[in-house]
């Protein structure tokens, strides 16, 4: 019996989840739910219905796990607790500071309903979080560094697009090579925000727009760019499409720790190089969706995070197969 | 209340476990057990008794988890099932092909006794196994490569020492840089044993020994060296002590997978650079010893592997603290 997956929200991430489900024979996509007009959306999986989110409200949809693909700013804080009271759910909530509050809300809803939820799944938070916890637990005396990129930040790209005179933009977050090298060498440097990453912007301006003003507005934008060394490049719409239409990303969690009398150093690095951020994130969500469905069948309810899930729960293989072939 | 740890076997690994316990405030070493004469052994932790393994036999020692530091060839297949019937135990059994049998023996003993056991813990098997399972689960269409080194292989060093005319030896396993590079580039190459690693030997020969014969015996030794490009260097005892007395090791698990229509590639790499193999392995064992003690308190019995343990169980921090600071 396959596990039935529903997708709420059909943007980049929803399509990534859809592709990931196709690659897992034990999973089956049973519905895509949207807040838009369902008839306006054509999905990549033939024979799967596109429905309105209203159809979810009675809790009767035939879904083992609902993958909620919304934004962390306003969508998920409302959606995940709401649907956690009706279905097993999983999301990729990534506003780190608000995770405890989001957890409490989702936990209360899912526990009361006898459902299982998992929040903040993906690669950061997600796989990077796992690696931070494994490393700190193994080597208590040490510190972790996280570098992101080279990759497209959609939040930063959107921020540039909101500037007057900008037609389109793509922003890459780039780790500073010398900083990466110092950390990998075990130097344990203190690094400021500016010393860790640079920001590289590719901007399509309106005809006749004041490019100097746009460049200044980008470089001085608080929270997004002012703390970084930022470069701004103006290109044509065709060039943007040709050279910057992908959504690559990645990064590294590097942990340096000591043992014995402190002279023995150990470096643990987990790194990702992703051609498609939404397709990889969708793949992580789908593996954890399998775990959520299993836990619910075992009677485990309430909200979980990736830290609460044993690795074997992510795999379609049996415990015997995993021990024989992967240990 | 601290978790009481016993160590069985006081070689390099036992000392690594001892050092790791010191760095974890919630753990306490309560005894070191040896098959040698206890009075002949002086340990690094004052006030902790050294006892005979005979003292373990009545199951009455005050231990929450016994860390069994023995060899995989003959020690652990006997010891771990024996002590799993008396205590919660953990070992680092690493003969991959025999893991299923070892698991069954330990599982039967620990289940019957209401105890919790964990086998094959360390970094390979161990942290590398975890990464193989996470990656295969997230990206079902892909393959993993494991590279070891640069690091000291104690088994290969021992094999050289058994050759007539050899006083001492140290063997390094070295990954082939061009092979690593091809894998990291996502080329998915087919690599033979010889193409993945080379073996580098540092040998102290007896005065007047036939060095050509020794070199030939090393290079043609089946299972250990004949499938590899091996270099043999003769040095003095003083040089061996000065330049090769450490036990560094490490390596990488590199996974390459595809999503979407197959054109989007993703590379996941987990890599370790360890100054001391036994101290790092001891640190992994100690983090999982904490998990074993917890699981037993929760009533979970029988044999587990690292694949069955949720990451949060390794940490001394609460679930709330982990969510707030590491997710």
For residue B320, the model assigns a pLDDT of: 97
Distance CA B288, CA B181 (A): 33
Tell which of A259, A277, A278, A322 to mutate to test the B interface (max B CBs under 10 Å): A259
Give the 3-state secondary structure of B6-23: EEECCCHHHHHHHHHHHC
Reduce the secondary structure of A99-159 to three states and give it as a string: HHHHHHHHHHHHHHHCCEEECCCCECCEHHHHHHHHHHHHCCCEEEEEEECCEECHHHHHH
- Say how many C-beta atoms besides its own lie within 10 A of residue A271's C-beta: 21
Question: Of A135, A152, A154, whose CA–CA distance to A144 is shortest?
Answer: A135
Percent of chain B with pLDDT over 70: 100
Q: What is the arithmetic mean of pLDDT over A2-28? A: 97
Per-residue confidence at B269, pLDDT binned at 50, 70, 90? very high
The stretch B165-173 carries a mean pLDDT of 98
**Nearest-CB residue to B24 (from A140, A290, A308):** A140
Contact (CB<8Å) A323/B310: no
List CB contacts (< 8 A) between A138 and chain B: 127, 280, 283-284, 287, 314
Sequence-distant (6+) residues with CB within 8 A of A166 are: A160, A203, A204, A205, A206, A209, A214
pLDDT of residue B239: 98
Q: What is the dihedral of CA B174, B177, B183, B188, to 10 degrees?
A: -90
User: Residue A111's pLDDT is what?
Assistant: 98
Dihedrals phi, psi of A303, to nearest 5 degrees: -95, 140
Task: Please answer whether residues A104 and A80 qualify as being in contact, where contact means their C-beta atoms are separated by less than 8 angstroms.
Answer: no
Contact of B136 with chain A, judged by CB distance below 8 Å, is answered with: yes
Residue A132 to residue A115: CA distance in whole angstroms? 28
Task: Read off the pTM.
Answer: 0.96
pLDDT tens for residues A97-131? 999 999 999 999 999 999 999 999 999 999 999 99
Q: In this structure, is the dihedral angle defined by the CA atoms of residues A237, A242, A243 and A244, taken in order, positive or negative?
A: positive
- In degrees and rounded to multiples of 5, residue B87 shows phi and psi of -140, 165
Residue of B nearest to A141 (CA): B23
Give residue for tokens 């196994």.
B129
Q: Which residue of B has its CA nearest to A267?
A: B273
Residue A115 near residue A86, CB atoms below 8 Å: yes
Enter the tokens of residue B164: 């007539």
| B151 contacts chain A (CB < 8 A) | no
* Sequence-distant (≥ 6) Cβ neighbours of residue A135 within 8 angstroms: A142, A144, A253, A255, A257, A268
User: A134, A146 in Cβ contact below 8 A?
Assistant: no
**Chain A nearest C-alpha distance from B216 (Å):** 35
Contact between A319 and B311 using a beta-carbon 8 Å cutoff: no
Residues B228-248 have a mean pLDDT of: 97
Q: Write out pLDDT tens, residues B139-163.
A: 999 999 999 999 999 999 999 999 9
Residue B261 pLDDT greater than 90, yes or no: no
Report the C-alpha dihedral over residues A102, A105, A109, A115, rounded to 10 degrees: 30
Q: Exposed/middle/buried for A45, CB within 10 Å: 0-12, 13-18, 19+? A: middle
Separation CA B310–CA B288 (nearest Å): 10
pLDDT-derived band at A261 (thresholds 50, 70, 90) equals confident
The pLDDT, as a whole number, for residue A172 is 98
| B175-217: pLDDT as tens digits | 999 999 999 999 999 999 999 999 999 999 999 999 999 999 9
Nearest-CA distance from A290 to chain B in Å?
A: 10
Segment B72-124, tens digit of pLDDT: 999 999 999 999 999 999 999 999 999 999 999 999 999 999 999 999 999 99
Q: How far is CA B115 from the centre of its chain?
A: 23
Helix ranges, chain A (H): 12-22, 75-84, 99-113, 127-138, 154-161, 177-184, 193-196, 211-219, 237-243, 277-297, 319-325
Angle between helices B127-138 and A277-297 (to 10 degrees): 100
The alpha carbon of residue B111 is apart from the nearest alpha carbon of chain A, in Å, by 17
The pLDDT assigned to A89 comes to 98
Q: Do B312 and A308 touch (CB under 8 A)?
A: yes
A264:B273 CB<8 A: no
Q: What is the pLDDT of residues B47-77, one digit of tens each?
A: 999 999 999 999 999 999 999 999 999 999 9
Enumerate residues 6+ apart whose C-beta is below 8 A from B260. A19, A276, A279
Count the neighbouring beta carbons within 10 Å of the beta carbon of residue B151: 21
The answer to whether the CB of A203 falls within 8 A of the CB of A166 is yes
Contact residues, A window 23-82, toward B, CB-based 8 Å cutoff: 23-24
pLDDT mean over A134-159 = 96
The b/e string for A114-149 (b: 16+ C-beta within 10 A; e otherwise) is ebbbbbbbbbbbbbbbbbbbbbbbbbbebebbbbbb
Put simply, the answer to whether B260 touches A279 (Cβ < 8 Å) is: yes
What's the whole-number mean pLDDT along residues A25-29? 98
Q: pLDDT tens digits for B272-307?
A: 999 999 999 999 999 999 999 999 999 999 999 999
> Are A292 and A313 within 8 A, CB to CB?
no
pLDDT class for B38, splitting at 50, 70, 90? very high
pLDDT-based confidence at B1, cuts 50/70/90?
A: confident
Nearest CA in chain B to A277: B266
B78 DSSP 8-state letter: H
pLDDT tens per residue across span A62-87: 999 999 999 999 999 999 999 999 99
Task: Write b or e for each residue in A11-20: b if 16 or more Cβ atoms lie within 10 A of its Cβ, otherwise e.
Answer: ebbbbbbbbb
Question: Is residue A1 scored above 90 in pLDDT?
Answer: no
Out of B132, B260, B272, closest to residue A326 by CB = B132
The span from the first CA to the last CA of chain B, in angstroms, equals 27
């Amino acid at each position: 019996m396959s596990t039935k997956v529903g997708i709420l929200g059909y943007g980049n991430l929803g399509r990534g989840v859809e592709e990931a489900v196709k690659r897992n024979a034990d999973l089956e996509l049973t519905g895509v739910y949207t807040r838009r007009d369902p008839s306006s959306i054509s999905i990549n999986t033939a024979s799967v219905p596109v429905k309105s989110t209203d159809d979810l409200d009675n809790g009767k949809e035939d879904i083992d796990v609902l993958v909620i693909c919304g934004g962390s700013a306003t969508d998920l804080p409302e959606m995940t607790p709401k649907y956690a009271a009706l279905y097993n759910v999983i999301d990729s909530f990534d506003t780190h500071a608000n995770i405890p509050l989001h957890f409490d809300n989702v936990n209360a809803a899912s526990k009361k309903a006898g459902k299982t939820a998992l929040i903040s799944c993906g690669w950061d938070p997600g796989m990077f979080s796992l690696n931070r916890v494994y490393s700190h637990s193994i080597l208590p005396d040490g510190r972790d560094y996280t570098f992101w990129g080279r990759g497209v930040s959609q939040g930063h790209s959107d921020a540039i697009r909101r500037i007057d005179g900008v037609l389109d933009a793509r922003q890459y977050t780039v780790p500073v090579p010398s900083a990466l090298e110092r950390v990998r060498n075990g130097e344990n440097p203190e690094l400021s925000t500016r010393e860790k990453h640079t920001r590289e912007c590719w901007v399509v301006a309106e005809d006749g727009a004041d490019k100097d003003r746009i460049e200044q507005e980008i470089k001085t934008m608080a929270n997004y760019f002012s703390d970084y060394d930022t470069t701004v490049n103006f290109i044509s719409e065709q060039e943007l499409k040709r050279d910057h239409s992908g959504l690559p990303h990645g990064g590294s969690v590097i942990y340096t720790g000591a043992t014995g009398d402190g002279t023995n150093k150990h470096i643990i690095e987990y790194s990702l190089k992703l051609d498609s951020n939404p397709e990889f994130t969708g793949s992580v969500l789908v593996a954890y969706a399998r775990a959520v469905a299993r836990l619910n069948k075992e009677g485990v309810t309430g909200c979980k995070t990736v830290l609460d899930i044993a690795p074997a729960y992510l795999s379609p293989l049996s415990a015997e197969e995993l021990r024989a072939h992967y240990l």
